[in-house]
Amino acid sequence: MEKKFYITCDSSCDLPSDFIKRNDIKLVPIKYIQGDAEYEDNMEFDDKTAFYKRFREGQLSKTGCYNGDDVEKVWNSTGEPILHICLSSGLSNCYEHAEIKAKEMKKEVKVLDSLFACVGTGMLVIKAVELRDKGYSLQEVYDQLNEYKYFINTNYTTHTLEYFYKGGRLKKSKYIIGKLLHINPILKVDSEGKLYIDKKCHGTKKSELAIIEDIKEKAINPSEQTLYICHADCLEKAKELGERIQKEVGFKDLYITLMGPTIASHCGPDLRAYFFIGKDRREK
Is the pLDDT confidence value at 108 over 60?
yes
Q: How confident is the model at residue 206 (pLDDT cuts 50, 70, 90)?
A: very high
Say what percent of the chain tops pLDDT 90.
83
Which one, of 254, 234, 226, 257, lies nearest residue 242 by Cα? 254
Query: Which of 150, 183, 218 is the last residue before a domain boundary?
Result: 150
Q: Report whether 284 contacts 256 (CB < 8 A).
A: no
- What's the structural domain count of the chain? 2
Q: Chain-wide mean pLDDT for the chain?
A: 92
Q: According to the model, what pLDDT value does residue 92 have?
A: 92
Asked whether residue 160 carries a pLDDT value surpassing 90, the answer given is no
Task: Identify the band that residue 268 occupies on the pLDDT scale cut at 50, 70 and 90.
Answer: confident
Are both 125 and 176 inside the same structural domain?
Answer: no
Structural domain span for residue 57? 6-150
> Are residue 36 and residue 92 in the same domain, yes or no?
yes
> Is it the case that residue 178 has pLDDT exceeding 80?
no
Residues 274, 215 contacting (CB under 8 angstroms): yes
* Statement to judge: residues 216 and 186 lie in one domain: yes
Phi-psi region at 115: left, alpha or beta (left = phi > 0; alpha = psi -120 to 50): left
Same domain for 55 and 94, yes or no, is yes
With a cut of 90, say whether residue 171 has pLDDT above it: no
pLDDT at 175 over 80: no
Question: In the prediction, which pLDDT does 183 show?
Answer: 79
List, in order, residues 6 or more apart from 264 with CB less than 8 Å away.
51, 52, 55, 61, 232, 233, 271
pLDDT tens digits for 211-243? 999 999 999 999 999 999 999 999 999 999 999
- First-to-last CA distance in the chain? 42
- Judge whether 283 lies within some domain: no
- 67 plus 172 within the same structural domain: no
Helix axes 235-249, 204-218, angle to 10 degrees: 40
Residues 190 and 166 in one domain: yes
Give the Cα separation of 154 and 116 in Å (integer). Answer: 10
Q: For the whole prediction, is pTM greater than 0.85?
A: yes
pLDDT the model gives residue 85: 98
Q: What is the pLDDT of residues 79-97, one digit of tens each?
A: 999 999 999 999 999 999 9
173 and 234 within one domain: yes
pLDDT of residue 267 exceeding 90, the answer is no
Whether residue 181 sits in one domain with residue 130: no
Residues 160 and 109 grouped into a single domain = no
